[in-house]
Amino acid sequence: MGKNVVWHPTSISKEDRQRLNHHKSAVLWFTGLSGSGKSTIANKVEECLFNLGKRSYILDGDNIRHGINSDLGFSDRDRVENIRRIGEISRLFVDSGQIVLTAFISPFRDDREMVRELFSEGEFIEIYVKCPIEVCEIRDPKGLYKKARAGEICNFTGIDSVYEVPLNPEIIINTNELSMVEAVDRIVDYLKEKKII
């Protein structure tokens, strides 16, 4: 950052926006293997929040790579930068008073912790969408595991690139055991319990 770049303060605060919205803001950080159900659950949670009159927005891994992160590949270095950018974007959404839901594999613990440090206590909610890789491969909604096993895709998480399981996530959703309704209820109940909504 250049020495002539100075943070410009604004007259409306995050707390002001939260009062206007009648709820607190936070990031729901969905992490897990491809095919575990991150995007599907995030969408259903947002539907629920919308129906409750809460302001929210989804940042989905594939969608983000169509735009702001279209210049990034899947090397470890690019994955780190992908998550760094998403963390900063998420911080802007939280500052705007909204609940942002992110659905990214985000395979590295250090990256997720780096993002956590951008937020105040209680604003970063790590949701580990847990599912055995064997089940993810059976689901394989995008056909990516099949391509990775055939050598058509390199650096695929769970096959030839590591996924570091969260050590202390706020929420664990085991999609091999819970129904979609149970998964959504668990997350929404957490938000109510923490008085975010």
Please write the tens of the pLDDT for every residue from 53-73. Answer: 999 999 987 788 888 888 998
φ, ψ at 26 (rounded to 5°): -165, 170
- Is 39 annotated in a binding site? The answer is yes
Q: Is residue 54 within 8 Å of 99, Cβ to Cβ? A: yes
- Is 13 annotated in a binding site? The answer is no
Q: Sketch out the chain's domains with CATH numbers.
A: 16-193 (3.40.50.300)
Question: Which residue among 11, 25, 106, 179 is the active-site one?
Answer: 106
pLDDT confidence bin for 52, thresholds 50/70/90: very high
Question: What would the pLDDT profile of 124-173 be if each residue is shown by its tens digit?
Answer: 999 999 999 999 999 988 888 999 998 898 888 988 889 999 999 999 99
- Residue 106 a catalytic site member: yes
Q: What span, in angstroms and rounded, lies between the C-alpha atoms of 102 and 83? A: 10
- Is 36 annotated in a binding site? The answer is yes
Mean pLDDT of the chain: 93
CA 91 to chain CA centroid, Å, is: 12
- Is 2 annotated in a binding site? The answer is no
Question: What would the pLDDT profile of 175-196 be if each residue is shown by its tens digit?
Answer: 999 999 999 999 999 999 999 9
Give Cβ neighbours of residue 145 (< 8 Å, ≥ 6 apart): 34, 35, 136, 137, 156, 158, 159
What is the average per-residue pLDDT within 49-56? 97
Question: What would the pLDDT profile of 84-129 be if each residue is shown by its tens digit?
Answer: 999 999 999 999 999 999 999 999 999 999 999 999 999 999 999 9
What is the average per-residue pLDDT within 14-43? 96
- Is 35 annotated in a binding site? The answer is yes
Predicted pLDDT at 64: 84
- Is 32 annotated in a binding site? The answer is yes
Q: What span, in angstroms and rounded, lies between the C-alpha atoms of 2 and 56? A: 33
Predicted pLDDT at 27: 98
